[in-house]
Amino acid sequence: MMQTEILPPVDHAAWALFLDIDGTLLDLASTPGDVVVPKDLLTLLDALTRRFGGALALVSGRSLDSIDSLFPGNRDAVGCHGAEWRLGGQTFIPQPPWPDGLLAGIEAARRRLPGVMLERKSVSLALHFRAAPEQEAAVWDVAEAAVATDPRRFDLLEGKSVIEIIPAGVGKGSAIERFMQVRPYAGRRPVFAGDDVTDESGFAAVNRMYGLSIHVGNSPTTKAQFRFPDPESLRHWLDGLNIALQGGNGHAQP
């Protein structure tokens, strides 16, 4: 598939924007708690939210609580890869909590793996090994053993230096499709930017809806139609989009 940084001239004001956070809007850090939100990014997101008639959502593997700590303001957001979401100020967490036995087993196994961090989200369990890459194989063993306790109910999601145990059937693609069925998203053209393998279901979903899929990074196998090399260049493009829409003609200049 041909990939380019030049986006086609279309009515940008009629877009609905879906943005992954880590590695897409923000540069990756050694742990999720260490990321830095650049000055002016909150203002930019607020401005874009207005320009798109409210149709802007953050779509992350982070929990909604974690998203709010970085981007306060009760924004529309999809958390935990689609297992929880907030739309128009209303929060939805349709999945039941984790069985205590499963959590205790994972925590006990993690204690034997120095440098590995267990993040307990409301609907997913994330094992982070960015600080201890040598533990990757052992982390896979722990995660696969956990899923094996009930394979119909649980699934694994691989990210950058993280493996997550999630409810089966959850994904960013289905979350974006859900948003696109309701106001203010319905009738708009979905645009989704992401960087990771967990974003591929989102790319596939917006491609099916004749939207725009944007990969941030250098994956050779992405389904995304367009590409930016790093979060900084995506932020720069968003800034330009905001300025173009400010002009009122709804067309971003190349």
Interacting residues toward Mg ion by CB under 5 A: 20, 22-23, 195-196
Instruction: Give the closest residue to 245 by CA, choosing from 88, 44, 76.
Output: 44
Q: Which long-range contacts (CB under 8 A, 24 or more apart) does 234-237 make?
A: 234/24, 234/25, 234/193, 235/25, 235/38, 235/41, 235/44, 237/5
Q: Can you read off the two tokens belonging to residue 89?
A: 């100020």
20 is catalytic: yes
Min separation Cβ 127 and Mg ion, Å? 16
**Residue number, nearest CB to Mg ion:** 23
The amino acid at 60:
S
Min separation Cβ 186 and Mg ion, Å? 26
Min separation Cβ 26 and Mg ion, Å? 9
Alpha carbon separation from 220 to 123, 196, 227 (Å, rounded): 30, 12, 11
Cα gap 219→169, rounded to integer Å? 24
Cβ distance to Mg ion smaller for residue 12 or 121: 121
The amino acid at 172:
K
Min separation Cβ 73 and Mg ion, Å? 20
> Which amino acids are annotated catalytic?
20
